[in-house]
Chains A and B, each alone.
Chain A
Amino acid sequence: MTPGMASASWSHFPHDADIGVVGMGPTKAEAFRQAGLALTAVITDPAGIRPVEAVEVTCRAPSDDLLLLEWLDALIYEMGVRGMVFGDYTVTIEGDELRAIALGEPVEQARHQPAVEIKGATFTALAVEKRPDGWRVQCVVDV
């Protein structure tokens, strides 16, 4: 990591009805990966998910903030239709295209104790920012 750059991390921020997800990292791709982990953490602890299946995800958007929405919506969709949860991601971003591999396993209610389904990512508090110490991406997701 470059000295002075933000370490990769994720967090949540409160919203009256829903919940905000934040990803931070030295690169845009890493910040997006962290936002994916923050998304998973709304449902269950990412550390408790075994990487037994890999799912390819590709999305495109004309701007960084719309790309974040597409990315989170793609993960919500894949988790929903596959009945899976994802515990980690590899993410690359080139131009307006994001390519990722999501690693996870089918939901087991007893083991994962999933708290809530995510309905969709929203424009609320949506931001993709390059800061002196790295990238920060965020938005509110509807649960």
Chain B
Amino acid sequence: MDLTTLERRSDHEWWIPQHGAMRVPGVIYASEALVREMDEKVREQIINVATLPGIQRASYAMPDAHWGYGFPIGGVAAFDPDQGGVVSAGGVGFDISCGVRTLITGLTADDIEPVKEALAHELSRSVPAGVGSRGRIVLDDRQLDAMLEGGAAWAVENGYGRDEDLERIEERGHMAGAVPSNVSAKARNRQRDQMGTLGSGNHYLEVQRVAEVYDEQVARAFGLRAGDAVVSIHCGSRGMGHQIGTEFLKEMAVAAKQHGIDLPDRELACAPVHSELGQRYLGAMRAGINCALANRQIITHLVRQAFARMLPKATLELLYDVSHNTCKLETHVIDGREKQVFVHRKGATRAFGPGHPDLPEALRPVGQPVLIGGTMGTSSYVLVGTPESERLSLSSSCHGAGRAMSRNQAVRTWHGRQIVDELKARGIIVKSPSMRGVAEEAPGAYKDVDEVVDAAHAAGLSWKVARLAPIIVVKG
């Protein structure tokens, strides 16, 4: 990105001054090096988002921002429904409520080492992954409705998990306001046999070692110690979310004119919150969020079963579950007063600071865990929301590294088997049904997650708590 088009406010804060049709300024949080690496398209997309009706404060981009569709990936924007504010299917994306959860095993990485190969096999056998995989749970229409209404709470009620898990999930595992009848027959068909599946691409299930602790006090509150083993799961709402996104994206793009919205890019497809279409999307999208929460909850149950067979002393308590593709009604301070606004986070993680009333009691004094995924060969991170994140970024932070190289170029550069062998030599077991998939997800195909996380920390969006290094990686 051309730095001369930006106004630098601090080391890690860059503004795109309000101009033209922009209703608010654009704000990028990133290091100079990261901003330089960002495509010009990111700037264009930040500006486009800033033109949408009812936008509040600013059109934000997180340190991992990259060219998305409509919104940049790493984009955050809030809309006031009473000022014509919109809800955007493009601003949420196809993989509704894609996110990460981390479980604390109660074991150390050394406890895992003697059974690492066997545990990797057991996990890959237990959690269906990859294109064409199907879950073992097939839901009829009545069960699908209950799942879409109840989310992770439905899963726990049906035996997939523990009551105490729900405390550690955004919305306590149940997104209110879901309207299952707004979800089409096609979306239901795409999900019927997909519950408890991991998917493919950048989704993963990892056993990780706590490689480094940066903040002992917060790490203690999170239950993390150097040398501990944790499990992280990254996946979303599977076929259902994809189909909801697909259908509403087209409907909103076509209907925008009727709503008097002049879209600079059709991918920004949106509708006023106070419209029939906006409300219908919100009901369906919230059902999609519940689908993702239920899916990660079922995978958690499968992981616990696999550990119970191999390492029965594992406790596998849920540290937290974050979603990074959502639109949620939240209270924020806008122009000096508290307001309820619809916050879109597309490839961005909610990062509530200490004291936030929506956090469970045990976490409230320290703040929300912010879980940032890396690649199969690099670190992932646990961060914590800061007291400043609300003011800076509507309580938002980054979500991952973002690709540095196209999938085709990655396949031309690496062989999957070579990646698996190299990682094995480093003590990382990779299980995947597709070597082409492994090559496309090669660690070298992604940007440096360390730099992204350092920028989020330095900008004050969220602070580093611990670094996690992969031991076992299950990929689709």
Contact = CB atoms under 8 A, between A and B. Distances in A.
Interface in A4-47: 12, 14-19, 42-44
Interface in A50-71: 66, 69-70
Nearest to A139: B69
A73 B67 CA distance: 22
Measured as residues with beta carbon below 8 angstroms from the partner, the interface class of chain A is 35 or more
B300 interface: no
B66 A17 contact: yes
Contacts, number: 134
B201 A116 contact: yes
Contacts of B186: 77
B249 interface: yes
A102 B196 CA distance: 29
B7 interface: no
A51 to B, nearest CB: 17
Interface in B162-196: 186, 189-190, 192
B476 A113 contact: no
Categorize the interface residue count of chain B: 35 or more
A17 B73 contact: yes
B10 interface: no
B250 A113 contact: no
B407 A143 contact: yes
A100 interface: no
A120 B242 contact: yes
Given A73-B246, A142-B69, A117 B266 contact: no
B144 to A, nearest CB: 14
Interface in A93-137: 106-110, 112-117, 119-124, 126
Contacts of B90: 123
Contacts of B411: 115
B271 to A, nearest CB: 15
Given A69-B250, A142-B93, A15 B67 contact: yes
Which of B90, B199, B407 has the most chain A CB within a 10 Å cutoff? B407
B133 A113 contact: no
Interface string B38-52: 010100000000000
Interface in B422-476: 433-437, 440, 476
Contact of B73 (A16, A19, A80, A114): A16
A80 B189 CA distance: 9
B130 A119 contact: no
Centre residue among A43, A70, A106, A108 by max chain B CB count within 10 A: A43
B408 interface: yes
Contacts of B440: 115-116
Interface string B50-87: 00000000000000001111100100000000000000
Nearest to B447: A16
Nearest to B74: A17
Interface of A: 12, 14-19, 42-44, 66, 69-70, 73, 76-77, 80-81, 83, 85, 106-110, 112-117, 119-124, 126, 140, 142-143
